[in-house]
Amino acid sequence: MALKTHGTMAVDWEQRIDFDRLRRERLAKAKALLAKSEMGALLCFDMNNVRYLTSTHIGSWAQDKANRFTLLPQNDEPILWDFGSAAKHHQLNCPWLDGRSRAGISMLRGAMTPEMGRAEDVAKKIRIELEMRGLHKEPVGIDIIELPVLFALQREGIKVVDGQQLMSNARVIKTQDEISLLNTSAMMVDAAYDELYRAMKPGLRENEAVGLVSKVLYDLGSEYVEAVNAISGERCNPHPHVFSDRVLRPGDPVYYDILHSYMGYRTCYYRCFTVGYASHAMVDAYKRCREYLDAAIELVRPGRTTAEIAAVWPKAEEFGFPNEESCFALQYGHGIGLAIWEKPVISRLVSFDHPVTIEPGMVFALETFWPSTDGWSAARIEEEIVVTPTGHEVITRFPAEELLVAGAHYFTVNGPLPTTRETEAPPSEKVLDMIEASAKTERVGVSD
């Protein structure tokens, strides 16, 4: 076990997360790739990329606004535009920006209409910075953008190219501190699952489970609970990817995916349970699901490829889907970092034609799904893996080697009820004998 589990505080008596090093190394990786590219600068509106380049954050409420933006020119430092009050905060508290934090407002995902002139204002700000550095005739790479801003940049004579891939490539290999943050984030979910396992019983609703998990995570220091998918009973197959107010019942299958952020670093972490007891069909489905996951994990080491991992997973037709696109993300792998889906993507849909070589420092999640033969229940499991120089380390620690039964506390005069039993079990031989005897009696009565 190479990875340490630290507390969430900074202390003077132990080396933990080095945030200065985190900031330097993230920016250096982006700068190095930019220097090798055809681009004169990078312009980022994706808040994850803004955070990667500037180490600033104003709350995940702003995640979908595409309003904050940063420009990274060749051979220079990033310039950040933000809400005015936030820009002032950065000036006071983010010395690494060295005064390069400025007020700037884009279009708020269309809330500000084109005639308000915000797109032109953004484009003018960018043109001025580029001209000051002699970069205005060089291509500018952009990750995501609102169309009016794109058109305004083009009217300013700026050639726009794809910068999303450069930033994705910068983020694919994690630094030492990024890996530590991802491990800490997973630790918090370990704790949330332990509380959830103790709480599950008939009568608990899916939305109550979501509330419980959210409280545990926020109490431990999460900055953002992105989602808790809580899926139970007949909702397990097909997988709807969203929780409801369904009430847990004895014998229910239930699986969860917990996604949250600690210092920006996400989790994507499925676990699967049954309530009170499990059917034989569910036990078999879980075993199959786990076998596919373990086969994939076994292959994780430097030099292997995403195609080799995808090859051990079943074809779509083997579990009820017509093609790989229709079951995308059920047998799946994806990088994890400041976003829950980063490079590399591992799937039978794309990995055979576009294999990626696994490298040390990659961190990704592997997740599998298998439907039960009963036609409505299903198993879902996921592990997060750090690629080490010699192999891998799994950082999702809550036990999942075998199907766990929650709330198994039912007793009869002969002892506890078995945890593997059928909701609609076939009649026993004794019951069959009774039925036959009753039928015989009825036949005798008719003949008389």
Examine residue 442 and state whether it is found in any structural domain, yes or no. no
Q: Which two tokens stand for residue 377?
A: 């229940």
Alpha helix (H) ranges present in 229-303? 280-298
Within this chain, do residues 389 and 259 fall inside the same structural domain, yes or no? yes
Nearest to 145 by CA among 123, 129, 130, 166: 123
158, 123 Cβ separation under 8 angstroms:
yes
Within this chain, do residues 152 and 292 fall inside the same structural domain, yes or no? no
Within this chain, do residues 180 and 310 fall inside the same structural domain, yes or no? yes
β-pairing, 415-416 with 342-346?
unpaired
Examine residue 441 and state whether it is found in any structural domain, yes or no. no
Examine residue 206 and state whether it is found in any structural domain, yes or no. yes
Per-residue DSSP letters for 289-334?
Answer: HHHHHHHHHHT-STT-BHHHHHHTSPPGGGGT-SSTGGGTTTSEEE
Q: How many domains does the chain have?
A: 2
* Distance in Å from the first CA to the final CA of the chain: 80
Examine residue 253 and state whether it is found in any structural domain, yes or no. yes
Sign of CA dihedral 229, 235, 236, 240: negative
Within this chain, do residues 398 and 266 fall inside the same structural domain, yes or no? yes
Structural domain containing residue 72: 19-172
Within this chain, do residues 53 and 134 fall inside the same structural domain, yes or no? yes
> How many whole angstroms separate alpha carbon 151 and alpha carbon 385?
41
Q: Which two tokens stand for residue 437?
A: 């005897």
Within this chain, do residues 139 and 215 fall inside the same structural domain, yes or no? no
Q: Is 10 helix (H, G, I), strand (E, B) or coil?
A: coil
Examine residue 418 and state whether it is found in any structural domain, yes or no. no
CATH number at residue 211: 3.90.230.10
Within this chain, do residues 158 and 187 fall inside the same structural domain, yes or no? no
Task: Show Cβ contacts of residue 425 under 8 Å, excluding neighbours closer than 6 positions.
Answer: none
* Chain centroid to CA 349: 19
Domain boundary among 152, 172, 192: 172
Within this chain, do residues 185 and 164 fall inside the same structural domain, yes or no? no
Within this chain, do residues 194 and 125 fall inside the same structural domain, yes or no? no
Domain boundary among 172, 187, 210: 172
Examine residue 68 and state whether it is found in any structural domain, yes or no. yes
Within this chain, do residues 168 and 199 fall inside the same structural domain, yes or no? no
Length of the chain: 448
Examine residue 196 and state whether it is found in any structural domain, yes or no. yes
Q: What is the pLDDT of residue 412?
A: 83
Per-position pLDDT tens, the chain of length 448: 578 899 999 899 999 999 999 999 999 999 999 999 999 999 999 999 999 999 999 999 999 999 999 999 999 999 999 999 999 999 999 999 999 999 999 999 999 999 999 999 999 999 999 999 999 999 999 999 999 999 999 999 999 999 999 999 999 999 999 999 999 999 999 999 999 999 999 999 999 999 999 999 999 999 999 999 999 999 999 999 999 999 999 999 999 999 999 999 999 999 999 999 999 999 999 999 999 999 999 999 999 999 999 999 999 999 999 999 999 999 999 999 999 999 999 999 999 999 999 999 999 999 999 999 999 999 999 999 999 999 999 999 999 999 999 997 888 888 888 889 887 655 556 656 666 766 666 565 554 4
Within this chain, do residues 145 and 211 fall inside the same structural domain, yes or no? no
Examine residue 447 and state whether it is found in any structural domain, yes or no. no
Q: What is the pLDDT of residue 448?
A: 47
Domain boundary among 172, 197, 221: 172
58, 65 Cβ separation under 8 angstroms:
no
397, 190 Cβ separation under 8 angstroms:
yes
CATH number at residue 62: 3.40.350.10
Within this chain, do residues 331 and 361 fall inside the same structural domain, yes or no? yes
Q: What is the pLDDT of residue 439?
A: 65
State pTM to two decimals.
0.93
Nearest to 400 by CA among 262, 295, 255, 265: 255
